[in-house]
Amino acid sequence: MKVLLVNGSPHPDGCTHAALQEIAHTLAQEGVETELFQLGAQPLAGCTACGHCRTAGRCVFDDRVNAFADLARSADGFVFGAPVHFAGVAGAMTSFMDRLFYSARGAFYLKPGACIVSARRAGTTAALDQFIKYLTISEMVVITSRYWNMVHGNTPEQVRQDVEGLQVMRTLARNMAWFLRCQDAARQAGVPLPERETPIATNFIR
């Protein structure tokens, strides 16, 4: 079993990374492999609504979004992490999520996922609310913890002093590992996937 951890911060060793490290360490203890995907500090284009991915199955911009989509298809679970900027998910991570979940939505169907955010002080709940919607619209199984998935601190050292936040990360990791084992047992037992209907789109102005 393998979980992809996405660091949506421009700082590879910053506060978001400190939280993801706690998750990775706990998943390792649970026998789950992890791989860290760094979004990096280079600019990332937002979705231009060109429709290319509908026919090609890939985003027209062949960058980190497509690179991650290739990894996602064979992964078992996901944790998306990002810093909070102005009470929302950091801009590059928002562009990444917009394009990823629009162009490669099928890679996430019924897979477990979680989102975590880090902030110096506030804006975390608003950012987390934005973040989690990518998972819920894509028929993912959202893994929860004992509190909202957030850590606080202005430096990685301060994040490591947020003992409650780190406990939330560990609990999240254990819940992820437990669900992955349950999902694997269901596959082995031959439990069928849910029946799927043809999508219906209702427009309010006709």
Q: What is the pLDDT of residues 61-106, one digit of tens each?
A: 999 999 999 999 999 999 999 999 999 999 999 999 999 999 999 9
Measured between alpha carbons, how far is 174 from 180 in angstroms, rounded to an integer?
10
Specify the pLDDT at position 55.
94
Measured between alpha carbons, how far is 22 from 165 in angstroms, rounded to an integer?
10
Q: What is the mean pLDDT of the chain?
A: 97
Measured between alpha carbons, how far is 67 from 35 in angstroms, rounded to an integer?
13
Indicate which CATH number applies to the domain containing 125. Answer: 3.40.50.360
Residue 59: inside a domain, yes or no?
yes
Residue 120: inside a domain, yes or no?
yes
Residue 206 pLDDT > 80, yes or no? no
- Token pair in block for residue 86: 């102005």
Specify the pLDDT at position 93.
98
Specify the pLDDT at position 45.
96
Residues 1-10: tens digit of each pLDDT:
999 999 999 9
- 128, HSE (Cβ side, Cα atoms, 13 Å): 18
3-state secondary structure of 141: strand
Specify the pLDDT at position 76.
98
Residue 201: inside a domain, yes or no?
no
Specify the pLDDT at position 204.
87
Residues 153-187: tens digit of each pLDDT:
999 999 999 999 999 999 999 999 999 999 999 99
Residue 69: inside a domain, yes or no?
yes
Residue 205: inside a domain, yes or no?
no
**Among residues 167, 176, 120, 134, which one has the least CA distance to residue 148?**
167
pLDDT band for position 205 (cuts 50, 70, 90): confident
Specify the pLDDT at position 27.
98
* Stretch 23-41: mean pLDDT: 98
Measured between alpha carbons, how far is 165 from 182 in angstroms, rounded to an integer?
26
Residue 42: inside a domain, yes or no?
yes
* Stretch 192-198: mean pLDDT: 96
Domain with 136 in it:
2-188
Specify the number of domains making up the chain.
1
- 129, HSE (Cβ side, Cα atoms, 13 Å): 6
- Token pair in block for residue 42: 């280079």
Specify the pLDDT at position 159.
98
3-state secondary structure of 119: strand
* Stretch 42-59: mean pLDDT: 96
Residue 21: inside a domain, yes or no?
yes
Distances (CA, A) of 21 to 26, 105, 166: 9, 26, 10
Measured between alpha carbons, how far is 28 from 132 in angstroms, rounded to an integer?
24
* Stretch 144-154: mean pLDDT: 98
Q: For the chain, what percent of residues have pLDDT higher than 70?
A: 100
